[in-house]
Amino acid sequence: MRRVAYLTAACMAADHPQRRGDYWEHGLAFGCLRPACREVGIDLVEVVWDDPGVEPLAFDAFVIGTTWDYPQRAEAFVAALERFAAVRPVFNGVDVVRWNLQKRYLRALAGRGIDVVPTVWCDRVDERVAEDAFRSFEVDEVVIKPQVGAGAWRQVRLRRGDGWPEAATLPAGAAMVQPFLPAIVSEGEYSFVYFGLDFSHALRKIPADGDYRVQSVHGGREVVYEPTAAELAMTRRVVEAVDQPLLYARVDLVRGLDGGLCLMELELIEPYLYPEQGPAMEARFAAALSGVLESGM
């Protein structure tokens, strides 16, 4: 039986003293992925990504799972993946991770004809950048995000005329500013899960009342979504725009100011795969993982 490390973070453990509020999502995902993998001859083993005692040669491959603390230590995270990749395959690959880690990848996808949320990019956000964004987008609300981040970490919703946010709440370095999209509140965000180029399932993520963030740690919830043929064609085009082979991908869409769907994120590093909304997801994951192991991707 092939032994594959499923990389996670220490703070995802139920008994960790500083466990994350969404720690339970790790248990839900891993709990269904492991038995499905065993069915195809893969022993999927939980491994904390920054554990210095991890011996790469003890595994046949590494899968990036719920490593949700990496934005705060991105350089250490990539270094760990490089150490693993020096002797064993890592999925998705380290080159994919480097590209997807920095959200300027959205500019590359826009250059390939993908509709993305309009964005102002800056090395550091300040009031002048925000005012330029208000004028450029012709809106009264924007969202400020770090260019390296996840889970709405150090993300701020800013209304024209608000006082400037405290520095500790803003991105510490390179930032991106986008128009606030009211459809996120009224309609939610759509996620499409792929294994390789094969569609698995879709869902709609709905924020809690009074919030706009769709993550469960902020009170968001999810419901199954049946996509249209046009939406599937659009999301497949997004996945196909990546010039590296993929084990998994999650395409997140939101309705823009013009009423059309556009790309919010392409999650290629550690996407939550939403097993509750994809009851056959684990078998598809296991088949895809078996396939890439056999192909030597």
Predicted confidence at residue 181, as pLDDT, reads: 95
How far is it, in rounded angstroms, from Cα 35 to Cα 110?
Answer: 39
CATH class of segment(s) 2-101+283-295: alpha beta
pLDDT for the residue 79: 97
pLDDT value, residue 152 = 67
pLDDT in 10s for each residue of the chain, 297 residues = 999 999 999 999 999 999 999 999 999 999 999 999 999 999 999 999 999 999 999 999 999 999 999 988 999 999 999 999 999 999 999 999 999 999 999 999 999 999 999 999 999 988 898 999 999 999 999 999 998 877 667 888 999 988 888 888 888 888 989 999 999 999 999 999 999 999 999 999 999 998 888 988 888 999 999 999 999 999 999 999 998 999 999 999 999 999 999 999 999 999 999 999 998 999 999 999 999 998 866
CATH topology of domain 120-180: Dna Ligase; domain 1 (3.30.1490)
pTM comes to: 0.94
Task: Collapse the DSSP code of 163 into the 3-class scheme (helix H, G, I; strand E, B; otherwise coil) and give the result.
Answer: coil
Return the pLDDT at 297.
65
> What integer pLDDT is reported at residue 121 of this predicted model?
93
Give the CATH number of domain 184-274: 3.30.470.20
Same fold yes or no, 120-180 and 184-274: no
Tell me which residue of 200, 74, 232, 93 sits closest to 147, measured CA to CA.
74
8 A C-beta contact, residue 207 and residue 193: no
Q: Domain map of the chain by residue range?
A: 2-101+283-295, 120-180, 184-274
Mark out the alpha helices in the chain (DSSP H runs): 23-39, 74-85, 94-101, 105-111, 127-137, 183-186, 229-240, 281-295
